[in-house]
Structure 1
């Protein structure tokens, strides 16, 4: 297993996750993975000792649509890793749900954001996409909806672009990881890609992990995304202009719109439970509801009609 460096990774060698209140099952490869469709369970896949684990929880439900969650930044002084995002929110839904932890954070106890990039030897996002495709096939899901906030939003799109006919929902997500706080990017480089000459080389060598523009050009058939960005969020519009740059790339104006692929770029506003416009309104549910054309519990204001998903 990956060597842990002076921090706790819950359930790393256990058979039961006390926090998630579910058993842990382990597999030596994705090919050997068997998911029980009727049992809540945490799964850890690790083929080689040098690989990062693929770590996820599965919660059963009904229907042929699979929901998938990804987390963003973690404050490492208080983080209880692994993090499985949206489990509480999405238990209210009827669909089966999967949440993946970002094991990139195992590379360094000070690493707060990994964008599910893995390292130079192990492309975590590519392997997670393979796991999702296998779950889809074996359990007969015909549609997958991936969701993430901030760094988890970029991951949702990065992984969704590799899954045919999927749809990713990003809320205030980064679109080009290189446009972010310099120390975050440098920390990821030093922790996960130290054999390269610089963080700039890391971003240039792996654009399929860090740049939605590149991901979009190589997307799987029918894969689309919706990007919700709060107009007052400096991490989306002003200080780090993720939304404007992606909108410009697709030939859209400042008010966003639909791309030729059917993606939706949605500048909007909503009320959050804390002063930050970057924060979720306590849950990801209203963005899922808006994307699916359902009644929205927390109002989100925007200027055009979203396509039906």
Structure 2
């Protein structure tokens, strides 16, 4: 490979115990064991892609997506679910939402990017590349809350993938307004309000609009905590009404807690096992 295509750094990520490798373009990215990869933004793009890859001898790739971050506690990059997945045998890919770098105060950006940079699509392309290099024919996109939104948004862009979403948002505008306003102010300052942003980018910000198209694949398992009233009423019920009868759509309603709390490690692992055993769509990974 030409030296100009690969920028190998002497950096070591001590927090995640992995070497850091930078790439100028996604097409240049090559896996070599457990590494953190940064794909630099190109013309017309705002944000780098930042991920941690741990390839295993497996036909399955689990893609871990994070939700809202307490910026007083967590620093970027954020690679969520590492402790939950550490004893599993599948290849693992952890994605950090680099749009959060736009503001030290921003807690949640749903991996959408900004007006000129569709991070959802760019990260989906990264997942496809990593899956091919890992030899993975099955891809599970795992997320809770904002990460669950991204799993549902990204799955239609990755053939052969399945979204496993725990109590996700399905519409940024239907979440608490201060999150939506902070998001639009940080990432779409050229627009006067969140409502203007949503009108301009409906399918990126509102999965009800995305999945309203009957041609959009519905390969997902949506696990909703019945004790979370806000997500039950504003996200789960509208999305279920829209997609319940479609092939590949599965809803699991259960009581995890009386709040918007992440599922236990044991429950996540149980659902991963169940998805891989019985719910996975029979289709090939797109290259």
The interval holding the TM-score normalised by the smaller chain is 0.7 to 0.9
The alpha carbon displacement at 1:195 in A equals: 0.8
Say if 2:163 and 2:220, in contact at 8 Å, map to a contact too: yes
Residue 24 of structure 1 corresponds to 20
Q: Evaluate the alpha carbon distance shift between residue 40 and residue 220 of structure 1 in structure 2; reply closer, same or farther with a 3 A threshold.
A: farther
**What secondary structure does 2:124 align onto?**
helix
The alpha carbon displacement at 1:277 in A equals: 4.9
Deviation string for 1:263-309 (max 9, x for gaps)?
Answer: 11222123x6xx6353322463232133234xxxxxxxxxxxx7465
Residue 167 of structure 2 corresponds to 172
The alpha carbon displacement at 1:78 in A equals: 1.7
Aligned equivalents of 2:214 and 2:271: distance in 1? 23
Structure 1 unaligned spans of 5+: 1-12, 251-257, 294-305
Question: Which is worse superposed, 123-132 or 279-288?
Answer: 279-288
Say if 2:55 and 2:134, in contact at 8 Å, map to a contact too: no
Q: Report which structure shows greater RCO (CA 8 Å, sep ≥6).
A: 2
| Residue of 11, 26, 35 corresponding to 1:41 | 35
Greater share of helix: 2
Say if 1:166 and 1:222, in contact at 8 Å, map to a contact too: no
The alpha carbon displacement at 1:175 in A equals: 1.1
Using the size of structure 1 for normalisation, the TM-score is 0.81
Structure 2 unaligned spans of 5+: 1-8, 282-287
Using the size of structure 2 for normalisation, the TM-score is 0.87
Residue 286 of structure 1 corresponds to 270
The alpha carbon displacement at 1:18 in A equals: 0.7
Aligned equivalents of 2:36 and 2:250: distance in 1? 33
Aligned equivalents of 1:84 and 1:62: distance in 2? 21
Say if 1:65 and 1:141, in contact at 8 Å, map to a contact too: yes
Aligned equivalents of 2:260 and 2:46: distance in 1? 37
Give the CA RMSD over aligned residues: 2.2
Say if 2:18 and 2:36, in contact at 8 Å, map to a contact too: yes
Residue 73 of structure 1 corresponds to 68
Q: Evaluate the alpha carbon distance shift between residue 292 and residue 136 of structure 1 in structure 2; reply closer, same or farther with a 3 A threshold.
A: closer
**What secondary structure does 1:31 align onto?**
helix
The alpha carbon displacement at 1:213 in A equals: 2.3
**What secondary structure does 1:94 align onto?**
coil
Alignment of 1:7-156 (within 5 A): 15-36=11-32, 39-48=33-42, 51-156=46-151
**What secondary structure does 1:237 align onto?**
helix
Say if 2:12 and 2:18, in contact at 8 Å, map to a contact too: yes
Deviation string for 1:145-201 (max 9, x for gaps)?
Answer: 110000000011111111012100000111111101111100010000111232012
Aligned equivalents of 1:219 and 1:148: distance in 2? 24
Aligned equivalents of 1:93 and 1:218: distance in 2? 35
Alignment of 1:210-221 (within 5 A): 210-217=205-212
| Residue of 253, 258, 279 corresponding to 1:267 | 253
Deviation string for 1:22-49 (max 9, x for gaps)?
Answer: 100000111111122xx11000001338
How many residue pairs end up in the alignment? 271
Say if 1:165 and 1:223, in contact at 8 Å, map to a contact too: no
